[in-house]
Amino acid sequence: MSLVATVVHQKEERYGEQGQAVWTPDTPHAHPLPFGVLTTSVIFDVVYLLTDNGKWSEIAFWMIAAGVIGGLAAAVFGLIDWLAIPSGTRAKRIGLWHGAGNVVVVVLFIVSWLLRADAPGESGAIPVILSLVGVALAGLTGWLGGELVDRLGVGVDDGAHLNSPSALSGRPASEGSSGAHRGERR
């Protein structure tokens, strides 16, 4: 059995019927860094366009490189998590759109980066447009990821509440319940 198949099998055993995990998923922890770095690269592109100072374009160039590397790493964790979601569920469909959209985001930024490679200090219009489209699409795919976690409960422990013990403690999320369960108002 391959390493990926072994990890997926272990994660499948941890999912309940609704696709809720009883472990800390990898994907939500891996996404913020590449999204933040790629978004920041677009901000530096805008500053470059406003100031015509090539240093801002160079910074954007290297930010894109870092964001793409982070995005590729996040994609591995995302694929492993998605493979463990039960088939035929809304979560599986939303996860597919979320993951496929994020692949398109990374591809847009890779193309933007490659178009800048010969002159990082002079990005030009097409690379900046690709980056703008990429960050806009990342906003949509980020919302889909939020839908998976917040609305569908993928990656949320059963019994999770406001006073749940740390995932590092090895204790179940339902331990220490004070009546402040997820979704319950006081």
Pick the residue with more confidence: 183 or 66?
Answer: 66
Specify the number of domains making up the chain: 1
What DSSP string describes 1-14? --HHHHHHHHHHHH
- Judge whether 90 lies within some domain: yes
Whether 169 is in a domain gets the answer: no
Considering the domain boundaries, does residue 113 fall inside one? yes
Q: Is 150 domain-assigned?
A: yes
- Asked whether residue 145 is assigned to any structural domain, the reply reads yes
Query: d(Cα 90, Cα 153) in Å, to the nearest integer?
Result: 11
Please check the confidence at residue 169 and state whether its pLDDT lies above 90: no
Q: What pLDDT, on a 0 to 100 scale, did the predictor assign at position 24? A: 46
The answer to whether residue 100 is domain-embedded is: yes
Rg, C-alpha atoms of the chain:
20
The residue range of the domain holding 59 is 3-155
Q: DSSP string covering 112-125, please?
A: HHHHHTT-TT---H
166 belongs to a structural domain: no
Residue 3 has a pLDDT of: 45
Beta bridge partners of 117: none
Residue with token string 């469909």: 93
Tens digit of pLDDT for each residue in 12-55? Answer: 554 444 444 434 455 566 678 889 999 999 999 999 999 999 99
For the stretch 106-155, pLDDT in tens is: 999 999 999 999 999 998 999 999 999 999 999 999 999 888 888 888 77
pLDDT at 89: 92
pTM of the model as a whole = 0.76
Instruction: Tell me what pLDDT residue 177 has.
Output: 53
pLDDT of res. 170 = 81
Q: Which residues contact 13 (CB under 8 A, 6 or more apart)?
A: none
Q: 167 in a domain, yes or no?
A: no
Residues 149-173: what's their mean pLDDT? 78
Q: Which among 83, 51, 90, 68 has a CA at the least distance from the CA of 134?
A: 68
Q: What is the pLDDT of residue 30?
A: 65
The predicted pLDDT at position 17 comes to: 46
Query: How confident is the model at residue 132, as a pLDDT?
Result: 97
Higher-confidence position of 102 and 15: 102
